[in-house]
Structure 1
Amino acid sequence: MELSHTVAALLVACFAGLGCIQAVTLDVKEGNSTCIKAELSASFSITYDTISSTRTVQVPLPDSATVDTGSSSCGTDESLPWLVAVFGPGHALGLSFSSNGSLYSVANLTLQYNLSDSATFPEANSSDVVTVVSATVGIWAAINTTYHCVSPVTLRVGGATVTFSDMRLEAFMPGNDLSPTESVCMADTTTTTAPPTAAASTTAAPAPTPSGTPEHGTYSVKNNNGTVCLLAQMGLQFNISYVSKSQNKTVQDLVNLTPSQTNVSGLCEASRATLVLTEEPNTTLSFTFTLNSTTNKYHLSGISLLAMWPDMTARFLASNTSLEYLRSSLGRSYMCNAEQTLIVEPTLSLNTFRLQVQPFGVITDQFATAEECQMDQDQMLIPIIVGAALAGLVLIVLIAYLIGRKRSHAGYQTI
């Protein structure tokens, strides 16, 4: 009896507000053609002010959510495609999309919530409709593929957070159904990578065999209008640890990226730029750069590597989206001729050689004035210091010589 009362209470709580967290299917059409389709579950954590304090509520996206046909569109040459879902009394979730021809991404995420909805926001001290926007979303996929992410992905949007889970999404669709070819999110590839077999032993790996300095490559990403929006030149080398089939243990290896066998793609947005390097057939390396519009500074915020090499027992994935490398100013490029090591995860680091990159503010397809890395500055400073020290030593010797000579002449003065 107590169990039945508990179940009944849960059901009442589940359906009393905006509904349970469950999958919702949303699509945007133009005529009879579908251009955006999403199958997802979502919930929102929203903090608001009450008369005496603050309160945080969890709001699910209910299965009654529908597409707002007035705000949603497939986009034009002047406007981005939009998917806007409305639910409850005045709440809405919006996703806009951009593309560079090879990749598409969520350009903006917008959440609108109505504080006058007393059932959802009890004792709110305002009846305003609040709109918050995030331009840093991190949802992207190759054109003509479905973005698929089973793992929960939480995004900060103003004073709220949005959590997506079990998400299948496609924009710029060529047909009315989601593509069977999927671009799997990093969170899923991290959790689904097969662990080493029980027989495989993990031992301290010997130093990797040097593979020589990697070839210097030049890479660029273009906007929809064909202008270059990201430039990069560098030699790249993976320092990677993985379980070897042939040796049945964890090994460490140095592997160079070969520019002549590498395809380049990417995406440029207002505050986020992505460079994707794919070396056929089984290596994809991506860099994500983030621009702080307040300080006008940018940095390398994310690196991920997905690889399946012949000697690997399972697909290798390493990803880190909280990096602070290659920091420079908007309107300038970042340069480092010295070899750098960018640590991604314990199993992966990247060695860069003669690197120069500019992910924002590229003009006339050329690098802007470079801000040099500290290692280059130190290397230039050392000969200056040595030269100054030698010059000081010569000066001291010369002064000592002159003083000694003067004393010598003083001993033979005429009486």
Structure 2
Amino acid sequence: MKLSHACGALIIAWCVVLGCVQAVTLEVKEGDSTCIEAQLSASFSITYNTSSSTRTVQVPLPDSATVDPGSSSCGTDGSSLPWLVAVFGSGNALGLSFTTNGSLYSVANLTLQYNLSDSSTFPEANSSDVVTLALASVGIWAPINTTYRCMSATPFRVGEATVTFSDMKLEAYMPENDLSPTESICMADQASTAAPPTTASTTTTVAPAPTPAGTPERGSYSIKNRNGTDCLLAQMGLQLNVSYFSLSQNKTIQEITNLTPNLTSSSGSCEASSATLVLTQEQTTVLNFTFTLNSTTNKYHLSGINLLASWSDMPAPLLASNTSLNYLRSTLGRSYMCNAEQTLAVVPTFSLNTFKLQVQPFGVTTNQFATAEECQMDQDQMLIPIIVGAALAGLVLIVLIAYLIGRKRSHAGYQTI
């Protein structure tokens, strides 16, 4: 039995490595109309407990996967989001829910369900539970009536599992039954298809340094939970530092631009271990923050930043995403504060500068920030005047002592008559 389990796991892992994972076409329909279509390959790296240790298995999304009609929907009734749920194996499922602001659509949630009682996939598991994991806002965006395309392998960490998509073409809120020929290409594909440097010419054109955009205005943003109370609070000035190919200049440029609070709307969600803040400016810039809470340590951090920029000088919408970040670390029940300018590196073509930042994505109890944990830069800036003040006080004390000693010696030189 153990030998057959080991062979089965080995075959699955071997198929993943050798590319046996095939693209699957999944469609959600309402009547004869298709509202969601996905053509993709996917594999899942899942870690589970055995009686003596932990084990990790590689599970591909098989070409026998089908859309679950009971869980999938177009969301046209207005009471729920559109969902694509693919079922496979013995009690396993992959789900994608979608949301839109009218001009853009995005994956709002990625869910993975797996059945530990399936001994052929999870040999020697010490549980028979059906585990459901979820990740909010994975950074998959595209304009309406545009196909999101990402051929590169893109991993997403979802709890104890990693979901890796590749060869992906995806569209939601489809006006037609076929994928749109207009494509929004992910950042990974744009980087892999960039033209290599040429050596045919010895003339080098250096792009001018970006014009400073000045200090951005500080905005206040909040997300409410179902009972109407604030569950996420944020105050910050935000500055985008983006590199992209300029149509007007016919070269790659670096642009620094500020997010303007009175032109920016906020949305998002709060869950037990994750929270999302989405900032949208004039339908051309969408900035998404994902915060993750570790329930064991009661520590949270900024784990993901996604940017979708659709600016007039761009040949195609720019997608920049990183879901493996570790910024803005703080403790549950406290806010994180950093008045100093911070630079949050996201991907080589995009970084985010923050100014006068205070954020609390978890444990908001009175619709206001809790006691703040300050960043190291603020602590260092406070330490400098303390050190200078202490040095000046020490200098004054030395001068005073010298003066008193000198005065005492001058009195000792006189005798009373």
TM-score, normalised via structure 1 length = 0.72
User: Which amino acid is 1:269 matched to?
Assistant: E
Match of 2:186 in 1: 188
Mark the runs of 5 or more structure 1 residues left unpaired by the alignment: 1-12
CA change 1:183–1:343 in 2 (3 A) is farther
Shift of 1:203: 4.3
Shift of 1:389: 0.9
Q: In structure 2, what is the Cα distance between the partners aligned to 1:27 and 1:245?
A: 37
Shift of 1:396: 0.7
Shift of 1:24: 5.3
User: Which amino acid is 1:309 matched to?
Assistant: W
CA change 1:183–1:390 in 2 (3 A) is farther
Match of 1:8 in 2: none
CA change 1:108–1:296 in 2 (3 A) is farther
In the alignment, is residue 374 of structure 1 matched against residue 376 of structure 2?
A: yes
Match of 2:209 in 1: 207
Q: In structure 2, what is the Cα distance between the partners aligned to 1:157 and 1:235?
A: 30
- How many residues are treated as equivalent by the alignment? 387
Q: In structure 1, what is the Cα distance between the partners aligned to 2:115 and 2:265?
A: 40
Are the counterparts in 2 of residues 333 and 370 from structure 1 also a CA contact under 8 Å?
yes
- Secondary structure of 1:286's counterpart equals strand
Identity level (%):
57
Shift of 1:73: 8.3
Q: Cα RMSD (Å) of the superposition? A: 4.8
Shift of 1:41: 4.6
Shift of 1:390: 0.9
Q: In structure 1, what is the Cα distance between the partners aligned to 2:384 and 2:343?
A: 21
User: Which amino acid is 2:134 matched to?
Assistant: A
In the alignment, is residue 134 of structure 1 matched against residue 136 of structure 2?
A: no
Match of 1:408 in 2: 410
1:230 to 232, 247, 253: 232
TM-score, normalised via structure 2 length = 0.72
Are the counterparts in 2 of residues 27 and 38 from structure 1 also a CA contact under 8 Å?
no
- Secondary structure of 1:403's counterpart equals helix
CA change 1:225–1:295 in 2 (3 A) is same
Q: Map 1:11-410 onto structure 2 (within 5 A).
A: 21-23=22-24, 25=26, 41-45=41-45, 58-63=59-64, 65=66, 67=68, 72=71, 87-88=88-89, 90-93=90-93, 95=95, 105-106=108-109, 108-117=111-120, 124=123, 129=128, 131-136=130-135, 138-139=137-138, 150-151=150-151, 152-155=153-156, 161-165=162-166, 166=168, 168=170, 188-192=186-190, 195=194, 203-410=205-412
User: Which amino acid is 1:255 matched to?
Assistant: T
Shift of 1:395: 0.8
CA change 1:56–1:229 in 2 (3 A) is closer
CA change 1:24–1:63 in 2 (3 A) is farther
User: Which amino acid is 2:133 matched to?
Assistant: S
- Secondary structure of 2:398's counterpart equals helix
Mark the runs of 5 or more structure 2 residues left unpaired by the alignment: 1-13
- Secondary structure of 1:349's counterpart equals strand
**Highest Rg: 1 or 2?**
1
Match of 2:3 in 1: none
User: Which amino acid is 1:268 matched to?
Assistant: C
Are the counterparts in 1 of residues 35 and 177 from structure 2 also a CA contact under 8 Å?
no
- Secondary structure of 2:186's counterpart equals helix
